[in-house]
Amino acid sequence: MPPLQQTALHDRHVRAKARMVEFGGWSMPVQYAGILEEHRHVRSACGLFDLSHMGEFYLSGSTATGDLQLLVTNDVARAQPGQCVYSPMCNERGGVVDDLVAYRLESDRWLLVVNASNHDKDLAWVRAHTSPTTVVDDQSFGTSLLALQGPFAATVLGDHLEEASQLKAFRCSQARLAGHDVLLSRTGYTGEDGFEIYCTDAAAGPLWDLFMADPRVKPIGLGARDTLRFEARLLLYGNDLDEETTPLEAGLDWTVKFDKPDFIGRAALLAQRDSGPPRKLVGFKMTGRGVARHGYAIVAGNAPIGHVASGTFSPTLEQNLGLGFVQPAFAAEGSRFAVQIRAQQVEAEVVKTPFYRRPRP
Amino acid sequence: MKSHFPEQLRYTKDHEWVELLEDNHARVGITDYAQEQLGDIVFVEVPEPETEFEQGDTFGVVESVKAVSDLYMPVGGKVLEVNPDLEDQPELVNQAPYGDGWMLEIELTDTDEYENLMGAEEYEEYVQSERDSKEDEADDDDEEDDDRGFKDDEDDRD
């Protein structure tokens, strides 16, 4: 196995006594003070994340927008420069190659932010499905990404960048932050208000230190990032999405635009829309004692009816919750089934998602 | 980072502790090092009283936010009592692993098994060597399988 990639902030994480783990070929902090404490800090104050492992591809040229329309299921052509669009990128079978956020930087220039674990696969896929006139520039190594997330994120960033609070949700803008050129977006993966900040590796350390000097800010690892995104029903590639799962099964219908020009996977997805997906992703709470985990079987009577995609103890709701793929007959709110946890079948009940929605002012 | 392990307990390589009580009774739990490695514990599954185990048997499961780990019997014996507080307060294992976070009270099958476990000093050395090898692992991503307890069943994903 090749040696692990280290982010520009690696030494800072080690000094902060973070527990480092391998993730997507990178050495990343999974926790600092503890997952529960970090999770609650993001829900109540402001957390700082190092997400430099994420992949960044730039697409440019007169054919870039048309190519991107073919690559992803959402209608990116509707976005104006300065807008961000979340979308699955599907294969011909309608399965998800990856889910990504496309930033329309200029009319003919896009930034695609992809999952670290899919970097190589995505780059090959994008290159194989773009015109010779579209330039695909992989800047994943050399780009750092910091995220500030939580109810205080706008005021924390606002202390250094007056216009921060003016930026609307899912918009992006070039900015000058403490003497560094950054790309700023009002996006995140926690269910809270927040920002993501793309910068050079050289700027990452100084910007990290700048935010860490603020007493409202604490560093947050990938462990809490997972529980935060889970409560907000933001899907995780590898758990909730994969190449055998369609966006329609995963409840991402809103990201599949059949009324736009052709895209990869359209025919398969259209057929599935018309026949109805064979399974649906639902949220459930454990009514019996036990924690549902990825891959556990879901049963009704003694028959298997699905499997757990993601499951954990929810720090905000303080109960054991899960997302699972089940047959449509079991997808309605209030439906009951059991999760096979080791030797036991533990009762669960379908509930509304997202499990957590942030309070709006 | 140096832990100090109570002198009156005996320890296993799977990071369980045993406290010998009167009449061949003993208490069993996991060590401070184990709870620290696991992180926030959110679920503990322990067996019914009267269940009998041999040394090394899996007697239950402890789950942190991200990981599921088996619990191994440090010595053979019959379960007399389980800690009733862990059902509602699994965090007691983090807060007081040798006190309120105890897991089982058992009747020992064979006191030799207890006598052969590691003492505090030996266990501390063992933990130190494990910490060192973990650091090496983190440095060069050596994903070799090992025989430690508390091995995560799941990858950390994001």
B1 assigned to some structural domain: no
How far from A38 is each of A42, A108, A226, A310, A360, CA to CA, in Å? 6, 39, 11, 20, 21
Domains of chain A: 5-53+141-231 (3.30.1360.120), 56-137 (3.30.70.1400), 279-351 (2.40.30.110)
Inter-chain touch A31–B39, beta carbons under 8 Å: yes
Q: d(Cα A37, Cα A324) in Å, to the nearest integer? A: 26
**Domain CATH for B104:** 2.40.50.100
**Structure token digits, residue B154:** 């799941």
A12-18: average pLDDT: 97
- Closest residue in A to B61 (Cα–Cα): A342
Inter-chain touch B68–A27, beta carbons under 8 Å: no
B5 assigned to some structural domain: no
How remote is the C-alpha of B103 from its chain's centroid?
9
Count how many domains chain B has: 1
B151 assigned to some structural domain: no
Q: Would an 8 Å CB–CB cutoff place A225 in contact with chain B?
A: yes
In this complex, the residue of B63, B64, B158 whose CB is nearest that of residue A226 is B158
**Confidence at residue A70, expressed as pLDDT on a 0 to 100 scale:** 98
Three-point CA angle B10, B16, B21, nearest 5°: 50
Exposed / middle / buried, residue A62 (Cβ in 10 Å: 0-12, 13-18, 19+): exposed
A186-209: average pLDDT: 98
Cβ within 8 Å of residue A11, ≥6 positions away? none
pTM of the model: 0.93
Q: Edge-to-edge strands of the sheet including B41-45? A: B41-45, B58-64, B68-72
Q: pLDDT band for position B135 (50/70/90)?
A: confident
pLDDT digits (tens, 9 = 90+) for A38-62: 999 999 999 999 999 999 999 999 9
B65 assigned to some structural domain: yes
Handedness of CA A175, A176, A182, A187 (dihedral sign): negative
- Closest residue in B to A20 (Cα–Cα): B138
B3 assigned to some structural domain: no
Q: Would an 8 Å CB–CB cutoff place A55 in contact with chain B?
A: no
Q: d(Cα A119, Cα A117) in Å, to the nearest integer? A: 6
Chain B closest-CA separation from residue A23 CA (Å): 7
So what's the ipTM on this one? 0.89
Inter-chain touch A30–B157, beta carbons under 8 Å: no
In this complex, the residue of B40, B43, B87 whose CB is nearest that of residue A291 is B43
Q: pLDDT band for position B142 (50/70/90)?
A: very low
Label the pairing between strands A26-31 and A5-6. Answer: parallel
B157 assigned to some structural domain: no
pLDDT digits (tens, 9 = 90+) for A106-156: 999 999 999 999 999 999 999 999 999 999 999 999 999 999 999 999 999
pLDDT digits (tens, 9 = 90+) for B2-16: 448 999 999 999 999
Nearest to A106 by CA among A146, A132, A135: A135
Q: Which structural domain, as residue segments, surrounds residue B33?
A: 10-139
In this complex, the residue of B39, B138, B157 whose CB is nearest that of residue A34 is B39
Inter-chain touch B141–A236, beta carbons under 8 Å: no
B80 assigned to some structural domain: yes
A352-360: average pLDDT: 95
Chain A closest-CA separation from residue B107 CA (Å): 26
